Structure 1
Amino acid sequence: MGIKSFQGARRQQTNNTDDTPLKVSDYMTTDLITFNPTQTIESVMQALIKHRISGGPVVNEKNELIGIISEGDCIKQISESRYYNMPMQDKTIEKYMALNVETIDGNMNIFDAANKFLNAKRRRFPIVENGKLVGQISQKDVLKAAMKLKGQTWK
């Protein structure tokens, strides 16, 4: 009496990982909450709270990236307005946003992006194509990518 195997046919394993989504553009957020430079600090704070985000890109009317505004920038303004006893209702974010915005290439490998997050100590990177803001990748997006890729060989 022979031994019977109840194991079905195995799928051929290939080393071709070209179909594996490994690019930043595969995991970036494209439905972004953006701000414009003439918005008030107060309106930005309301949006950050409402959307539960820690910051966002600032764009001009052509959707070109001109800065980033974060909770930290808003908190700094709150602190300064109290220190100088200046109301902040009318203050726009133009003076308080970060201007030197580091971006990331949408074609970058997700693991290189993870490394960039570690070295830059940033929470998010905007993705720009042809001068226009097309998306943003956050640390959380990289975590989600890692969880999706968990069962695969990382090369």
Structure 2
Amino acid sequence: MGIKSFQGPRQKQTVEEIPLRVSDYMTKKLITFYSDQTIEEVISALIKHRISGGPVVNDKYELIGMISEGDCVKHISESRYHNSPMQDMRVKDRMIANVETIDGNMNIFDAANKFLSAKRRRFPIVENGRLVGQISQMDILKATIKLKSQNW
């Protein structure tokens, strides 16, 4: 008589959907700036909210640029060098107008590679011409901590 091995009925294996898209980890509530704001207002906001920069939008919430703490430091340095008043300078004079964006459907690991190749700290996400979020290097790090128990 042969030996039978019974393991019981096989259960249907369910594959848990692991969120890997940029839109799953991007920041949606953003501190934004407007082109007619003063650099002093931007500096105050950066300090108050403990951020290193943010998107510049128009009244339709369309992305028109980015302003960073580096842009503000450059302004401070140049205004001291040329002995010009700081309050006259506006965001539109210091912002980066040609902003590279990424797709919210991009895989976060592809986004990590894009951070490395572009040497940026943040990328805005735009849908239908409107700013919908921003992903930072810190968001990528947070995503990897959430995924560390999963298979990559």
TM-score normalised to the size of structure 1? Answer: 0.88
Match of 1:147, as an amino acid?
I
State the superposition RMSD in angstroms: 1.3
The Cα shift of 1:90 comes to 2.2
Amino-acid identity (%): 73
* Structure 1 segment 55-70 matched on structure 2, within 5 A: 55-70=53-68
Please list every run of 5 or more consecutive structure 1 residues that lacks an aligned counterpart in the other structure.
1-10
- CA shift, 1:91, in A, is 1.2
Counterpart Cα distance in 2 of 1:56 and 1:12: 47
Distance 2:22 2:96 in 1: 23
After TM superposition, what 4+ stretches of structure 1 lie above 3 angstroms from structure 2?
Answer: 11-14
Deviations 1:2-60 (A, max 9, x none): xxxxxxxxx8765x45x110000000000000000000000000000000000000000
Match of 1:72 among 55, 70, 73: 70
Change (3 A) 1:99 1:152: same
Question: C-alpha separation between the residues in 1 aligned to 2:32 and 2:88?
Answer: 19
Tell me the CA shift for residue 95 of structure 1. 1.0
Structure 2 distance, partners of 1:12, 1:27, is 30
SS of 2:64's partner is: strand
Q: Name the residue aligned to 2:83.
A: 85
Letter in 1 for 2:93: K
What secondary structure, in the 3-state scheme, does the structure 1 residue paired with 2:34 have?
A: coil
Question: Normalising by the residue count of structure 2, what TM-score does the alignment of the two structures yield?
Answer: 0.90
Q: Which residue of 1 aligns with 2:39?
A: 41
2-side partners of 1:23 and 1:12: how far apart?
27
Matching residue's letter, 1:51:
H
Distance 2:13 2:138 in 1: 30
CA-to-aligned-CA distance 1:53-73 (integer Å, 9 cap, x gap): 000000000000000000000
Partner of 2:24: 26
Check if 1:120 corresponds to 2:138.
no
The reply to whether residue 103 of structure 1 matches residue 101 of structure 2 is yes
- Where does structure 2 lack aligned partners over 5 or more consecutive residues? 1-10
Q: Which residue of 1 aligns with 2:130?
A: 132
- AA matched with 2:133: G
Aligned residues: 142
